[in-house]
Amino acid sequence: MVVSTGSSEREGWSSRSAFILAAVGSAVGLGNMWRFPAEAGENGGGAFVLFYIFCVLLIGLPVLLSEVLIGRHGQASAPESVRRVARDSKAPEGWSVLGSMGVFAAFLILSFYCVVGGWVVYYIGVFLSDLFQTGLSGGAFAGRPAEEIETLLPGLFGNGSLMVGLNLGFLAVTMFFVARGISSGIECVAVYLMPMFFVLFLGITIYGAFTGNFGDAVTYLFTFDFSKLTGEVMLAAVGQAFFSLSLGVAGMMTYGAYASRETNLGETSGIIAGADTAVALIAGLAIFPIVFAAGLSASAGPGLMFQSLPIAFQAMPFGSLIGLLFFTMVFFAALTSSVSLLEAPTAYVFEKFKLSRPVATVIVGVGAAVLGILSALSFNELADFRPLALIPIFSEANFFDALDGVTAKLFMPIGAILTCIFVGWVADAKLIDDENGLDGVLHQVWRALVRFVCPIVLTLILAAGLFPEWFAKAMSELQQGFAVVFG
């Protein structure tokens, strides 16, 4: 559908539900099924998870609404939308930097996201070939020793050219849909793939809950141990919340720009955040029972989902078929997200340089391919390359981890802080009220969160995460202070 914006005719979502599906599709992805369990495991479980939920409700949701609202008012790419809100509020148009920074970060994320997308494709291939060899009844997976299945991922990591090939393949599929535009490309993936995703996902989780170590997983994920909540854990949790909700880096501004005036943005933001968080928690409950039952390490990092689940599939009847369905579903979810990551920079490039959408897609795609190759090679050829050796919290990171860390722990929180200041203090209050679709108390609460709570809490978390020793010292002094005061 074409939405009239006064000055020009531009593409938009064909309905409210198409917008919701596309936005949920952007949010739900590898962030939920791959990154969330890995981060939870690396950051000690319960403290991370509960702080993550706190971040989604108190920070993620208000920022999400702020972003779609900027996009919907601006009806343009992220930098231009911010500029228009600033212009209509008689504020400095230099605020558009907020959008430009986001577009750049989305581009960085896209590059390594497609590397992980490539791993998903590899597993689809593994299960498919298994099915062909042995038929439906179980596949060669059944009965294979767990150790052998665990070596699949290291095997893939060791093969640089295969990693690069899969990465480029995944990126090419993403480019195909973005080049086709909103209604015949992006919306099409979301409207067909997201419902299929939810059906498959629920089926597999229910199945998994009955076979693994469910109780241990619940304890691990939901037991809050205050002493484990360090500055690093808090920053990791807030970064994960933003990554999962596609926030802080222009993604949701870009999608909001295709929303029509009739869409209630407050309500829509609630649906997006609710669905995304539910999927992350369910993914955790599906993956950790298997991790514990199989004696794997919870802190295995990026390999967690790829190593734990195939072990469970191997023990199930029809294991290869279930494995194939599962990874196909992850592929769908990843694709609806990578499409949104590519759309943010592409929309900017075609608008700014007056190019056609397909040409802009190719330009951004080629850039992402170059960076993606470096990420794919960080698991083999470039394993010892430490691009950010000088920055303490990233000193151990290879190229892939560095991009992931810098975007989630710097770009996203900083982008979100600026978004809150912009929406809460700079933009015209009347303009914001007209867009947000909230009334009464909810409106007041949202406004207070955006103006005060989010920017302050985010700044503190950012400081605590970047200077963990400082934070630990401050906390222990605070504790001593309490001890003195309360005897």
- Residue ranges in contact with ligand TRP by CB under 6 A: 26-27, 29-32, 106, 109, 243-244, 246, 249, 251, 337, 340-341
Nearer to ligand TRP, 79 or 212 (CB): 79
- For 14, other C-beta atoms within 10 Å of its C-beta total 15
- Residue 230 vs 246, nearer CB to ligand TRP: 246
Residue 332: CB minimum distance to ligand TRP, A: 12
Comparison of 105 and 376: residue with beta carbon closer to ligand TRP: 105
Nearest distance, CB of residue 192 and ligand TRP, angstroms:
18
Q: Tell me the C-alpha distance between 311 and 293, whole Å.
A: 10
Q: Which is nearer to ligand TRP, 251 or 319 (CB)?
A: 251
CB of 108 to ligand TRP, least distance (A): 10
Whose structure tokens read 């199930």?
Answer: 316
Give the largest CA-CA distance in the chain. 71
Report the residue closest to ligand TRP, judged by CB. Answer: 31
Q: Which is nearer to ligand TRP, 51 or 243 (CB)?
A: 243
Q: What is the DSSP string of 317-371?
A: TTHHHHHHHHHHHHHHHHHHHHHHHHHHHHHHHHHHTT--HHHHHHHHHHHHHHH
Sign, CA torsion 419/422/424/428: negative
Beta carbons of 2 and 11 less than 8 angstroms apart: yes
What is d(CA 141, CA 154) in angstroms, rounded to the nearest whole number?
17
Min dist CB 448 to ligand TRP, Å, is 26
Structure tokens at 310: 């195939």
Cα distance between residue 434 and residue 414, in whole Å: 26
Closest distance to ligand TRP from the beta carbon of 30 (Å): 4
State the Cα–Cα distance between residues 226 and 223, nearest whole angstrom. 10
Minimal distance, residue 411 CB to ligand TRP, in Å: 9
- In the complex, least distance from residue 135 CB atom to ligand TRP, rounded to whole angstroms: 34
- Cβ atoms of residues 284 and 40 within 8 Å: yes
- Residue closer to ligand TRP by CB (options 35, 83) is 35
Question: Which of residues 33 and 311 has its CB atom nearest to ligand TRP in the complex?
Answer: 33
Q: How far is the CB of 26 from ligand TRP (least distance, A)?
A: 5
Cβ-based nearer residue to ligand TRP, 31 or 62: 31
Whole-number Å distance between alpha carbons of 339 and 26: 8
Residue 43 · residue 237 · CB < 8 Å: yes
DSSP letters of 24-79? HHHHSSHIIIIIHHHHHHHTTSHHHHHHHHHHIIIIIHHHHHHHHHHHHHH-S-HH
Note whether 161 and 237 are within 8 A (CB): no
